[in-house]
């Protein structure tokens, strides 16, 4: 049949075949759409790695790109620890984990409660994790959890009273990684440990608070020295907080890599932890859908009408997870230094100079540490006021005691200083408390 059609076209012309021109035009259009979809779908990782026995801690692993990353790593045999804000008895979470175990054939999937919008919740979890003898195994920390406030929306706040994008996307990760620093350095020297932080190209439009951007001739280092307070953004547009939080997170990621390198391991061995930043690209994640719809019903209706366009030009969550998987499995990153930005499964240059500027990094780190300490003191005071005393009356408010540390003190030292003498509950495993006794 194909030979006869080809002969007919050759000797009698294409017009001799009914609807030939229509079919040809449709074929050309479908081919173009296919290649456009492939192009916007992004690169796919070719890296492979044995993940059996690897312990991977993940935030944002129940939806969007994070869920796709978890599914792939779990199917490869990794032990997954989901950090979730849902209570561990929540039916949705229980069903999700059970379904994930069945789909991946992996029973080593568990969850721990940790709310990124609550610094005290982060401290409780991270302190319990590191308070073990011997130290728990930890091969990888993947930070996919974040929030995105649509432009024009009402500014929301975390439990600590911080703008939610700044608090969840930056301060929460700052708090978590600082407290987990001893756990990362305690891993055996032959273990490949990676910290993978979710970035976004919107960081190029962010503006670190306290830094003047008016003088274009001012260098990034001079801008950093001009900074007075980088603890909280000073923006009025809710949507602009997201880019600023990602810019701060990337700046902190580079500073955290240097912090790990400058702080000696307990066994004096070379550092085996690499910090990598990953830009997954624009994906059809719940956060992106909320941004496009502006959090409104009419926006959702418009999104559904125009969904074919978003399907064509935006990645699926599985496609967005490819660079995360590349960062987790590519062998070369275990040999090279960290602090790299990855996009489309390859290293890309960092566009904003202040991300790599040590003066800006130090200023941001110092101000963020002071902010976290102050927020934890205020939260401890609120908990003390809410806690009833023995006579049924409200207890006298007591601020958590915070020791003053020098500016060059290790970050994990500051993270362990905040304690409340009246309301703090002793945490950690029984074994660790016996050893301490």
Q: What is the DSSP letter of 194?
A: E
Q: Are 275 and 339 a contacting pair, CB within 8 Å?
A: yes
Q: Does an H or E element contain 346, and which?
A: strand 346-348
The residues, ordered by sequence, that sit 6+ positions from 184 with a Cβ below 8 Å of its Cβ are 138, 141, 193, 195, 260, 273
Answer for the pair 203, 243: CB distance below 8 angstroms, yes or no: yes
Alpha helices in 41-171 (DSSP H): 64-75, 91-104, 119-130, 164-166
Chain centroid to Cα 177, Å, comes to 11
| CA 414 to chain CA centroid, nearest Å | 22
Annotated catalytic residue, options 54, 223, 232, 246: 246
Q: Are strands 340-343 and 273-279 parallel, antiparallel or unpaired?
A: parallel
If residue 286 lies in a helix (H) or strand (E), which one and from where to where? helix 286-293
Is 246 considered catalytic here?
yes
CA angle 102-108-109, nearest 5°? 70
Q: How many CB atoms lie within 10 A of CB 32?
A: 10
Query: For residue 313, with 0-12 CB atoms within 10 Å meaning exposed, 13-18 middle and 19 or more buried, which class applies?
Result: middle
Distances (CA, A) of 207 to 153, 252, 277, 377: 19, 14, 19, 28
Listed in sequence order, the DSSP H helices in 13-118 are: 20-40, 64-75, 91-104
* Phi, psi torsion values for 292, nearest 5 degrees: -70, -35
Long-range Cβ contact pairs of 152-159 (< 8 A, separation 24 or more)? 152/237, 152/238, 152/239, 152/294, 153/238, 153/239, 153/294, 153/295, 154/238, 155/238, 155/241, 156/238, 158/117, 158/118, 159/115, 159/117, 159/118, 159/119, 159/120, 159/121, 159/379
Which distant-in-sequence residues (6+ apart) come within 8 Å of 115 by Cβ?
85, 121, 122, 159
Q: List residues with catalytic annotation.
A: 246
């Amino acid at each position: 049949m194909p030979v006869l059609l080809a002969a007919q076209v050759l000797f009698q012309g294409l017009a001799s075949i009914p609807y030939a021109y229509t079919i040809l035009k449709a074929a050309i259009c479908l081919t173009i759409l296919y290649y456009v979809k492939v192009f916007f779908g992004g690169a796919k990782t070719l890296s492979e790695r044995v993940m059996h026995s690897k312990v991977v801690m993940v935030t944002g692993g129940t939806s969007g790109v994070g869920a796709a990353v978890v599914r792939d790593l779990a199917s490869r045999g990794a032990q997954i620890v989901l950090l979730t804000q849902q209570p561990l008895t929540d039916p949705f979470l229980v069903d999700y984990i059970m379904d994930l175990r069945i789909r991946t054939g992996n029973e080593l999937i568990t969850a721990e409660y940790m709310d990124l919008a609550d610094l005290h919740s982060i401290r409780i979890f991270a302190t319990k994790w590191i308070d073990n003898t011997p130290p728990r195994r930890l091969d990888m920390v993947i930070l996919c959890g974040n929030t995105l406030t649509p432009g024009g929306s009402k500014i929301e706040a975390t439990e600590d009273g911080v703008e939610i994008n700044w608090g969840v996307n930056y301060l929460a990760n700052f708090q978590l990684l600082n407290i987990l620093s001893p756990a990362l350095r305690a891993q055996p020297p032959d273990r490949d440990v990676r910290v993978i932080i979710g970035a976004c190209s919107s960081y190029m439009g962010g503006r670190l608070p306290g830094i003047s951007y008016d003088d274009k001739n001012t260098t990034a280092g001079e801008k950093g020295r001009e900074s007075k307070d980088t603890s909280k953004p000073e923006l009025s547009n809710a949507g602009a907080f997201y880019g600023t939080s990602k810019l701060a997170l990337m700046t902190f990621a580079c500073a955290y890599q240097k912090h790990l390198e400058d702080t000696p391991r307990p066994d004096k061995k070379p550092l085996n932890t690499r910090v990598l930043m990953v830009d997954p690209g624009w994906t059809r994640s719940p956060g992106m859908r909320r941004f496009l719809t502006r959090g409104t019903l009419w926006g959702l209706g418009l999104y559904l009408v125009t969904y074919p366009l978003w399907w064509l030009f935006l990645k699926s969550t599985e496609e967005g997870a490819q660079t995360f998987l590349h960062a987790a499995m590519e062998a070369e990153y275990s040999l090279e230094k960290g602090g790299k930005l990855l996009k489309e499964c390859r290293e890309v240059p960092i566009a904003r100079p202040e991300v790599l500027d040590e003066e800006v990094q130090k200023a941001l780190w110092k101000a963020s540490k002071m902010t976290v300490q102050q927020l934890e003191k205020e939260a401890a005071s609120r908990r003390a006021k809410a806690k009833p005393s023995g006579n049924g009356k409200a207890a006298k408010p007591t601020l958590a005691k915070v020791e003053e540390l020098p500016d060059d003190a290790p970050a994990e030292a500051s993270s362990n200083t905040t304690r409340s003498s009246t309301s703090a509950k002793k945490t950690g495993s029984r074994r660790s408390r016996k050893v301490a006794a």
